[in-house]
Amino acid sequence: MHIMEGYLPPLHAAAWTAVAVPFVIAGGITLAKTLRERPETRLPLAAAGAFAFVLSALKIPSVTGSSSHPTGTGLGALMFGPSVMAVLGTVVLLFQALLLAHGGITTLGANVFSMAVVGPWVAWAVWRLARGAGASLPVGVFLAAMLGNFATYCMTSVQLALAFPDPASGFGGALAKFLSVFALTQVPLAVVEGLLTVLMVTFMTRYSRADLGRLKGAA
Amino acid sequence: MQGIDRYAYDNRWSRHHPGERLLLAFGLLFLAVWQQPAAAPLAGLAAILAALLGAGVPLSAYLKVVAAPAGFLLAGTPLLALSVEWSEGLRLAFSPEGARVAAEAALRSLSAVCCLALLALTVPVTEMVAPLRRMGVPAAVVELVLLIHRLVFVLAERALAGHRAQAARLGQSGVRRSLRSAALLGSGLLGRAYVKAERMELGLAARGFSGDLGTLRQPRRFSAKRLGAIVLLLFGLLLAGLTMPELPSWPT
């Protein structure tokens, strides 16, 4: 779901950067304040960031027989909150560009907006709604992670459709085109990511409850 | 990842001031993205030559970085050349205008990826992050970024070892089992990360850590000659791009 380096026309790349920056700055201010008031949260937060990066490089089975990678946006949003996730997600995306040549610098803004802003906020909102409506923990986590992933790829489709409107049918046609291509590959992946996140949360609450508690103090 | 990091630290230019490499790579990237697409390959080509001949990055390492994005590009771009319409039933057709847009996006993107590879292979992440502090990012956040960078490598190694151990025990056979394995591995990594971070905290505290990781740096000066050459190259490419004709439209 990363838009690769240089794929977006320059004006689009600049515009999406401008859209993403306020979210990242807001998250950065929160983060800097937390770090100033409680310096002991620095290393748990660094651990969380590194964890998010490695998680996104983890292989998960894909239906087509090949393997794919989770986005980790859902889990990140549930663990750190969507505001801090904007900063951690930006760092992860930057490192993916610089260490794996995955994504890019000029498209960083667009990718941050879809993966570190829209995905986490949707996941978080779904989580609150589901829990408010009385859903159990696994159901809430599943819905949040799946819909967070889903929202990310819808946003990516919108970004691509705006940049490359269809010659015949314009933005709508392009959106339908990108969504339908993504649907083949991404809807099953969103479901897999939902399942993976439920399993991970189950294992974590079973084996590392103390770590999760520490995180609550940090983020 | 290890490959990129290795050459970033150890290439022919690593004793030069990192600002020179940052200027070159970002300048080329800017030219590749901002100029008209027909001129983008000039910047991409300059980036390839700079990485291979200038910085002495081996061709195999360079290709490894560029291969994956180039593959995605080949798979994804042809979609732009198709046009859909549903006014009189669903119709999918090749569109010459779309093909032109696709060719433009492919040229721009491939050239930009070459510039990104130059940046990634010649400048270590730590040196790219340092200027952020001067750009107004709070010192605490910059330091967090550096800590994350450090922990990423430690944790990636653990993840790889865990994955290998699981595969050796048939943990990756079948979709159900590999999903369960991935979840076990992922959830175990969080605890790992904390243990690692805690040890680092303890080690730093024992050495009197007060909030700033002071390291001994080799003083590196800008070389007027090299800076001049970079500016000249960028300016020359800009001029060459301006005089180049635009992409011809698709023959119909």
Over residues A198-213, mean pLDDT? 79
pLDDT of A216 over the 60 cut = no
Residue A53 lies in a domain: yes
pLDDT of residue A217: 47
Q: Which residue of B has its CA nearest to A55?
A: B186
Question: In this structure, are residues A108 and A97 in contact, taking their beta carbons and an 8 Å threshold?
Answer: yes
The span from the CA of B177 to the CA of B8, in Å, is 38
The span from the CA of A173 to the CA of A179, in Å, is 10
DSSP string covering A90-138: HHHHHHHHHHH--S-STTHHHHIIIIIIIHHHHHHHHHHHHHHTT--HH
User: Across the interface, which of B138, B144, B163 has its CB nearest the CB of A42?
Assistant: B144
pLDDT of residue A159: 93
CA distance A123 to chain B (A): 19
Over residues B39-50, mean pLDDT? 93
Structure token pair of residue B132: 């952020």
| Probe site for chain A from B152, B163, B185, B209 (most A CB atoms < 10 A) | B152
pLDDT of residue A215: 56
User: Across the interface, which of B29, B117, B163 has its CB nearest the CB of A106?
Assistant: B29
Residue A147 lies in a domain: yes
Residue ranges making up the domain that contains A195 = 10-211
Residue A118 lies in a domain: yes
B54-95 pLDDT, tens digit per residue, is 999 999 999 998 988 888 888 878 888 888 777 766 777 788
pLDDT of residue B47: 95
- ipTM of the complex as predicted: 0.87
The span from the CA of A113 to the CA of A108, in Å, is 8
Residue A199 lies in a domain: yes
The CA-atom distances, in angstroms, between B176 and each of A47, A189, A198, B68 are 28, 14, 14, 28
pLDDT of residue B25: 94
CB contact under 8 A, A57 and B143: no
pLDDT of B101 over the 60 cut = yes
Residues on chain A touching B156 (C-beta within 8 angstroms): 53-54, 57
Pairing of strands B91-94, A67-68: unpaired
The span from the CA of B229 to the CA of A139, in Å, is 60
pLDDT of A40 over the 90 cut = no
Residue A59 lies in a domain: yes
User: Across the interface, which of A31, A51, A181 has its CB nearest the CB of B141?
Assistant: A31
CA distance A26 to chain B (A): 12
pLDDT of A74 over the 70 cut = yes
Residues on chain A touching B137 (C-beta within 8 angstroms): 28
User: Across the interface, which of A105, A168, A203 has its CB nearest the CB of B84?
Assistant: A168
Residue A219 lies in a domain: no
B130-186 pLDDT, tens digit per residue, is 788 888 888 878 888 888 888 888 888 888 899 899 999 998 888 888 888 888 888
The span from the CA of B155 to the CA of B14, in Å, is 26
Structure token pair of residue A32: 């800097």
Structure token pair of residue B195: 């243990």
CB contact under 8 A, A51 and B190: yes
CA distance B242 to chain A (A): 16
A139-160 pLDDT, tens digit per residue, is 999 999 999 988 988 999 999 9
Structure token pair of residue A113: 């907006």
CATH number of the domain where residue A31 is located: 1.10.1760.20
Split into its structural domains, chain A has a count of 1
Structure token pair of residue A43: 């290393």
Residue A142 lies in a domain: yes
Q: Bridge partners of A61?
A: A67
Over residues B31-49, mean pLDDT? 92
User: Higher-confidence residue: A66 or A123?
Assistant: A123
CB pairs under 8 A between A and B: 224
pTM metric for this prediction: 0.89
Residues on chain B touching A102 (C-beta within 8 angstroms): 68-69
Residue A46 lies in a domain: yes
The span from the CA of B128 to the CA of B134, in Å, is 12
CB contact under 8 A, A173 and B111: no
CB contact under 8 A, B156 and A203: no
A87-139 pLDDT, tens digit per residue, is 999 999 999 898 888 888 999 999 999 999 999 999 999 999 999 999 888 99
pLDDT of residue A211: 67
Residues on chain B touching A208 (C-beta within 8 angstroms): 187, 190-191
pLDDT of residue B183: 87
The span from the CA of B184 to the CA of B114, in Å, is 37
Ramachandran angles phi, psi of A106, nearest 5°: -70, -25
Over residues B191-213, mean pLDDT? 79
pLDDT of residue A170: 84
| Probe site for chain B from A1, A3, A5 (most B CB atoms < 10 A) | A5
Q: Is the dihedral of CA A51, B194, A36, B207 positive or negative?
A: negative
The span from the CA of B115 to the CA of B107, in Å, is 13
What percentage of chain A has pLDDT greater than the value 70?
A: 91
| Probe site for chain B from A16, A54, A111 (most B CB atoms < 10 A) | A54
Which amino acid, residue B149? H
